[in-house]
Structure 1
């Protein structure tokens, strides 16, 4: 609940600074493609080391996005990919992962999550996204601006207009979206101020998530011992 409140706080600040701001009629318009340095394709590799697929990675899927957004580690599967693919596709702090295939009649593709150093530090190997996702590398200082703008548009149902495929799995026209969807581009100093402010919120979200993980491990370790009587707490004075 605390993390959800922190996330809502950041979204509210984004809307106040950039959507409802009366100064925005003086800002230029553009597209996300102007704020993105490059994009990375995903990889799925092999389940076990096979041939030249020897680089161990954790692979973030669309199914992991809600958990990661909530500040949790998620349950990313271990895969083995080519070393050259890892060099080209490794995720770094500040990247944004977008689900480009999947969705449902009521849920569009386009869900996203920001990659933080806090998340990367909780895994013992590097990370890539699956080939059902795509990653963006924003220009310096624009990561969280893009992330919250993307979520704002997602909440308005904009991504339904950029999907193709009427049966089965839907696919997002990712290039079409970042190159044609018109957005407001505020002064860079305002973007950087927002990025710095929201990093503190992100750090708190992931610190809370890590603490929750530790508490869950402690619970799962102690509860069976309490239930079996292996631990006697009858003398504890509450």
Structure 2
């Protein structure tokens, strides 16, 4: 016999509006537009389920959250009643809301209402069986979350070293006088550069970003199905996939077919993918991801970027990670907002103007090589964990309906 979510859970709705929460709220505020892959507050070991509806894309989703928070009135908070395992309820909801979302695509069902939520059914089994099923699925999710935390630490290590060496200029001074000590804090010679209007280490050059770039290639969109000369099957990276490519979200790269004569546009190791159209009022264009052999190995087909992106490669591979973190630093500090134009209401990065006019300090190649040698194994580990997480997600999504429907049992 089935049970409904309304019988299994106490359900509360959010009360606070966004302005009140943002300006004076003590706890995080969630709206219906939040997506679990974009928020780092979710976990799988507490007794609250957060369900949201009426979000920006007309969908709804369910996520676990640990801790106190404020929520929009169409965001629901669930706690399990006696005899029901909240983890089991979470996974039951995850499956049923996926089915409901697929069913409602293109219809007038744009948000999740209380009657719809409370009326959702799931298979009624014993508490022990609920716990066993939940343990299997949550173990997979906890491993994915662990991988994410490890990757965040790896990324933090690389960013910290980049800042230390190339922003604060406390790289190891390998001169006879420096003896490997931090350059600037050990009184390494700094000289004022009138172009940058600041001091940089003596011997460093100043040049535009274009001086680093060897070549660029435009993206391609191809065809959805194989036809005529559109025979090369590819996975197409869009601007929306760049965060996922970097390990900060999901990748939903469409599978496309391109002309064989355009195979020179395929992405190769040590390419960069840069979003040149898109963004938002609070997010500039210019998001960037870098391509390595390990990135390419995460995908079943060759990669290409879409027409709204551009791929570039550098003259010197040793500068690869320096350029990556330099560009990321410029993006994070909002520099690219000043290099945008608009076409038909869509923001475009004025890429050529930016790279030919924006000057930066260029580190010595031997120092860039040291940074490359430090970051490369971190990146390899990161990509290995991302590939593992992708396989775990596939396994979890395969198991979820069969466990919930009783096709597979836990022994």
- Partner Cα distance (2:339, 2:231) in 1: 36
Larger mean CA deviation between 196-205 and 218-227 belongs to 218-227
Assess, with a 3 A threshold, how the Cα gap between structure 1 residues 221 and 99 changes in structure 2: closer, same or farther.
same
Please show how residues 17-28 of structure 1 align to structure 2 within 5 Å: 17-21=165-169, 22=184, 24-26=200-202, 27-28=204-205
TM-score for the superposition, normalised by structure 2: 0.54
How many residues are paired up? 233
The correspondence for 1:137, drawn from 296, 307, 313, is 313
TM-score for the superposition, normalised by structure 1: 0.91
Contact 1:71 1:205 in 2 (8 A): no
| Counterpart secondary structure, 2:348 | strand
Bigger relative contact order, structure 1 or 2, given CA contacts below 8 A and separation 6+?
1
Q: Do structure 1's residue 196 and structure 2's residue 373 form an aligned pair?
A: yes
Task: State which structure, 1 or 2, has the greater radius of gyration over its C-alpha atoms.
Answer: 2
CA deviation digits over 1:152-187, x for unaligned, max 9?
Answer: 000110001110117621000111111111111011
The correspondence for 1:223, drawn from 400, 404, 409, is 400
Provide the residue aligned with 1:149 in structure 2. 326
Please show how residues 151-230 of structure 1 align to structure 2 within 5 Å: 151-165=328-342, 168-230=345-407
Assess, with a 3 A threshold, how the Cα gap between structure 1 residues 207 and 112 changes in structure 2: closer, same or farther.
same
State the shift of 1:215 in Å. Answer: 1.9
The correspondence for 1:44, drawn from 197, 221, 244, is 221
| Counterpart secondary structure, 1:56 | strand
Contact 1:46 1:81 in 2 (8 A): yes
Assess, with a 3 A threshold, how the Cα gap between structure 1 residues 40 and 166 changes in structure 2: closer, same or farther.
closer
State the shift of 1:118 in Å. Answer: 1.3
CA deviation digits over 1:88-110, x for unaligned, max 9?
Answer: 21111111100000011110000
Q: Do structure 1's residue 4 and structure 2's residue 146 form an aligned pair?
A: no
- Partner Cα distance (1:52, 1:214) in 2: 33
Please show how residues 95-114 of structure 1 align to structure 2 within 5 Å: 95-114=271-290
- Structure 1 unaligned runs (5+)? none
- Partner Cα distance (2:402, 2:226) in 1: 38
Q: Do structure 1's residue 124 and structure 2's residue 300 form an aligned pair?
A: yes
Q: Do structure 1's residue 79 and structure 2's residue 256 form an aligned pair?
A: yes
- Partner Cα distance (1:57, 1:41) in 2: 15
- Structure 2 unaligned runs (5+)? 1-148, 170-183, 189-199
- Partner Cα distance (1:71, 1:211) in 2: 15
- Partner Cα distance (2:229, 2:250) in 1: 28
The correspondence for 2:243, drawn from 61, 66, 79, is 66
Assess, with a 3 A threshold, how the Cα gap between structure 1 residues 153 and 77 changes in structure 2: closer, same or farther.
same
CA deviation digits over 1:102-138, x for unaligned, max 9?
Answer: 0111100000001121121122321111110001111
State the shift of 1:44 in Å. Answer: 0.9
If each structure's helix is expressed as a fraction of its own residues, which one has the higher value?
A: 1
| Counterpart secondary structure, 1:107 | coil
Contact 1:71 1:208 in 2 (8 A): no
Larger mean CA deviation between 96-105 and 222-231 belongs to 222-231
RMSD: 1.8
- Partner Cα distance (1:96, 1:42) in 2: 12
